[in-house]
Structures are given as C-alpha cells and as structure tokens.
Amino acid sequence: MTLGADHPGSGKHKVAIVGSGNWGSTIAKILAENTEAQSDVFQKEVKMWVYEEKFQLPDSHPKYDSSKHSKPSNLTELINELHENPKYLPGVALPEHIIATPDIKDCVADASILVFNIPHQFVPQICKQIEGQHLPYARAISCIKGVSVSEDGISLFSDSIGKRLGIYCGALSGANIASEVAQEKFSETTIGFSPDDSKLKPLPEGLPKVDHELIQNLFHRPYFHVKMIDDVAGVSLGGALKNIIALATGFVDGLGWGDNAKAAIMRVGLLEMRKFGKMYFSNSCRTATFTEESCGIADLITSCSGGRNHRCAKLSIERGKSVDEIEQSELNGQKLQGTLTAKEVYEFLKKEGTTEEFPLMTAVYNILEGTVKPEELPDIIDPKSPKRSPSPHKL
C-alpha cells in the first residue's frame, strides 16, 4: 500500500486508534480534537477499533429511544450513533468524526499513525491480525501499560509491536486517570519517541515528518500537556511497574494503616522501579525518568491514590475477597493490568534469580497468590529492621 498523489488525504497523516476502553476512548477524543484543529497536517477522520460486544443502553440515558434501544445493540453502532462510548466512557461526548469499527483491518488500512490502547494480554493476537494490513511506513505510539515476558526474556510492548509489524513504535504514559482527562481536567503525560529513520521505510514525499513536534501536536491539548523525551524504555517501564506498587498501597489502605505507611511503600516501590530499569534496560533506560517525568513519580502517586489497581486491592482487603473477584464485580468487564504484570514480572525475576532484589514486587505477587499476608509487608521490605522489644510500660 502506498499513499499516492491521488489519495484523498495526500500530504496529510491519517490517525487510527486500536482500542476503545475508557482510556482508549479518551485518547481518541484527544486525537480527534487535534486532527480537526490541525487540518493542514492531519486528515480529520479518526477510526477507532472496537472489540464488538452487545450493550444495553439504559433507559435513563438522555438519548434513549425505546424504538431502537429496547434490546442490546452492537457497541460500535451505539458509539457512532450517540458519539459516546456508553459502556466504557459514559457521559463524555466524542467528536463526531471518530468512526468506530469492529473491523481491525479496516481501521488500520490507510493510517500512517497508529495508536495502540488495549489490554496488554491481547497484544500478540491483535498484532497478528494487523500484520500485513497496515501501511509499511506507518509510525505508532503504544499507550499500553505492561511488559511482555516470554522464554526469550522481558521486552516492552512498544518494542514488541514495532518488531512484529516492522514499524517504529514509541510509548505514552503518565499520571492520567482516564475519567479526569476525559472531563478535561488538567493533567500531563510523557511520550517517549526516538525513531532511527534511516532504518525505517521512508514516508512518501510530501507527508510531514513524524518527529517530536508532530507527535506533541497530535496529543497536546490545553487540558492534557505533553512532554516529549527519547527514553521509550523509561516511559514504558514506569507505566507498567507502577501498577504493581499501586496494588501494594491498596493493600495497605485496606488495612487502614494510613498515609505514612502508604508513603513508605511508594518510596520502596519507586526505588525498585528505578532499579529494574537499570538492571534490565540499562542500554536505553534513563533512571532519572522515574524521578523527573510524569510517567514515573507522578504516575506512581496518582495510581497509588485513585487508580483502579489501588482501589481493587483496597476493596479486596475490606471485603475479604480476592483481587480477581473484586475486578469482576467492579470493573464493568475491564481488566486490571497490575495483577497480570505482577505475575509476569515475578516469573521473569524468578528465572533470573533476582526475586530477593525486588522484595516489594515479589511480595505483591505472593499476596495475590495467597502465600503471603499483606500484614507482612513491613518486615518484607525491610528485613534487617530490629525486632520489636516489649514496651517498658508493659513489663
């Protein structure tokens, strides 16, 4: 496939987003606002791939029509009709030039910029469907928070997507709770993007170069500020590993231990995140990214305060149920990323023989498995602390 002179969007980038959960729909909103505002660079239409499912529009919805909505409808049809994702982002108006499609090949076919926003366990099968169906010179951004673990080791989803599709893929991550961004409350994010254009299929003549400036213009909104950096690994790892730490702080909050305890867990968690990057991605990861950028410390703070991983872990303690059970009852069909990431990171660390180097991340996995109690966290993260002596007042 090539973008010829007679192509209706010749000289302009076309954007497609793969994924339509609450964060995917929010990012689609941002992209569509910017493609409309920058018509000299981008085609206005933004296609959004939706995993097709049935959804019953509640009769309380302001656009409910009993002649059309008395039975469950295809989610894609509802999104295109209502210009809203009523299941995953209810109440938020989406630009009318976002076109939802259940056909992933149709979604990506003529897009020069692909944005991935799907649960990370589905990346391999989605890439398999896209392979050979996309423009060979396309560039991509991954908004997926997780890591890919296989027999070959551990890798970033930006790298996995790029290698599988033969294109370049950067990464976006930051302190971004989807509902707040969708409501246009101020937030910031980090995008790691550092392609070696000499090794990529060149863009057609006349199509603007996909560099830091173009990507920033595509994602930046008055309510959503974007910082561009080269450290794709740091951005990706910050987004993945903070979900494990958020589970730990959720356990602590569920126990009612207060803010001092949560701060201690976050401090240890940040150190383990930075250490992980230094040990396993030393050639590309800048350790300062974890302490200086939104994808690091800011995302950690947000996720440990109001993110879904923290909330579900907290509820699991309060209700005496497993995190998996809470996920099923609370997330409206969406999946936690922290539980799967904790398992994958633990399996990798066990294979490397370094679980003791990361006591907090290891403990989170063991708590999820039921072999460690959350109450044991203080001694696990600081095993050398002196044993408590009886209070002299009790002697």
Measured CA to CA in angstroms, residue 253 lies from 279, 297, 305 at distances of 30, 19, 10
Q: Could you give the residue range(s) of every CATH 3.40.50.720 domain in the chain?
A: 13-230
Residue burial 292-325, b: 16+ Cβ < 10 Å; e: rest: bbbbbbbbbbbbbbebbbbbbbbbbbeeeeebee
In this prediction, residue 283 carries a pLDDT of 87
> Which residues is 191 bridged to in the sheet?
172, 228
- Residue (of 22, 43, 21, 40) closest to 31 by Cα position: 43
Q: Could you give the residue range(s) of every CATH 1.10.1040.10 domain in the chain?
A: 234-381
Measured CA to CA in angstroms, residue 143 lies from 19, 132, 217, 345 at distances of 10, 22, 17, 19
Say which of 14, 29, 87, 242 is annotated catalytic. 242
Question: Does 242 qualify as catalytic in the annotation?
Answer: yes
In this prediction, residue 7 carries a pLDDT of 45
User: pLDDT 10s per residue in the chain (395 long)?
Assistant: 444 433 444 699 999 999 999 999 999 999 999 999 999 999 999 999 999 999 999 999 999 999 999 999 999 999 999 999 999 999 999 999 999 999 999 999 999 999 999 988 899 999 999 999 999 999 999 999 878 877 678 889 999 999 999 999 999 999 999 999 999 999 999 999 999 999 999 999 999 999 999 999 999 999 999 999 999 999 999 999 999 999 999 999 999 999 999 999 999 999 999 999 999 998 889 999 999 999 999 999 999 998 899 999 999 999 999 999 999 899 877 778 899 999 999 999 999 999 999 999 999 999 999 999 999 999 999 877 665 544 444 33
CATH number listed for the domain at residues 13-230: 3.40.50.720
Instruction: Please state whether the predicted TM-score (pTM) of the whole model is above 0.85.
Output: yes
In this prediction, residue 3 carries a pLDDT of 41
Using CA of residue 90, residue 95, residue 96, residue 97, what is the dihedral sign? Answer: negative
Using CA of residue 32, residue 33, residue 39, residue 41, what is the dihedral sign? Answer: negative
The helix-helix angle for 259-280 and 232-255 (nearest 10°) equals 150
User: Which residue positions form the known binding site for NAD(+)?
Assistant: 19-24, 122, 178, 308, 335, 337
DSSP element (H, E) containing 142? strand 139-142
User: Which residue positions form the known binding site?
Assistant: 19-24, 122, 145, 178, 308-309, 335, 337
Instruction: Looking at the structure, give the CATH architecture of the domain made up of residues 234-381.
Output: Orthogonal Bundle (1.10)
Q: CA 170: distance to chain centroid?
A: 13
User: Which residue positions form the known binding site for substrate?
Assistant: 145, 308-309
Angle at 281 between CA 163 and CA 384, to 5 degrees: 145
